[in-house]
Amino acid sequence: MACSLAWDVPDIKATPARIMESARIFQMPMDTEELRFYCPMFVSKEGGDGAFKEADPDDLVYHAEEIHEALDEYGDMAEHLPEGLRPKIASVKWGAAKIGPALYGEITCELRVPFTPQEKSELAGWIMHENADGMFSDFEMTPLETDCGDLYVGLWRDSDACYLLPEDEFRAQVLEQAVDSQGFGAMGGLA
């Protein structure tokens, strides 16, 4: 008994445009992959003499939701990416994340394709620039009105306290600091 197949045989004389149209049928949407970076946040207040002074870091945590909402107002920053990275990233958004007793800047990138280490480094450099001299240097100059007075929140300072780390390195550092603060040495014993 003969069996017949009911699908079309492709036209070998088809034009490139027709081939591309046929190929679209078989394209499946790719799930995006998230890549997160973290950085410290700094908060200052205007003193009675008009000069700015460092505020208590607890002010950051207390006003975490307001700070996150203020950062979220910037929306998706993907259109500001360097041209070479733009097609590979679906979105880039800044926010705030409470981790342990502190509040950190959290930059979430939705990747369309996996990144090479060089591309990851280029993206990190762009984020650091935005935090220091780009869009978010303006953020630091805009007062965040709170019940404790105006807060000025920054994502960068010229100091050794500044860094930008991918999530895996950041989590390892936070865990290491938590272990150190509990009095455990490098070998896991009591200090």
Distance CA 141, CA 164 (A): 21
Please check the confidence at residue 60 and state whether its pLDDT lies above 90.
no
Please check the confidence at residue 184 and state whether its pLDDT lies above 70.
no
Q: What is the DSSP string of the chain?
A: ------SPPP-TT--HHHHHHHHHHH--PPPPEEEEEEEE-EEEEE-TTS-EEEPPHHHHHHTHHHHHHHHHTT---GGGS-TTTGGGEEEEEEEEEEETTEEEEEEEEEESSPPPHHHHHHHHHHHHHHHHTSHHHHHHHS-EEETTEEEEEES--SSTT---EEHHHHHHHHHHHHHHHTTB-TTSSB-
Mean pLDDT of all residues in 51-74 = 86
Quick: pLDDT tens for 130-160: 998 878 878 888 889 888 788 889 898 877 7
CB 80 within 8 A of CB 94: no
pLDDT at residue number 187: 39
In sequence order, the 6+-apart residues with CB closer than 8 A to the CB of 28 are none
CB 182 within 8 A of CB 191: no
Q: Structure pTM?
A: 0.74
Quick: pLDDT tens for 42-59: 888 877 677 778 878 788
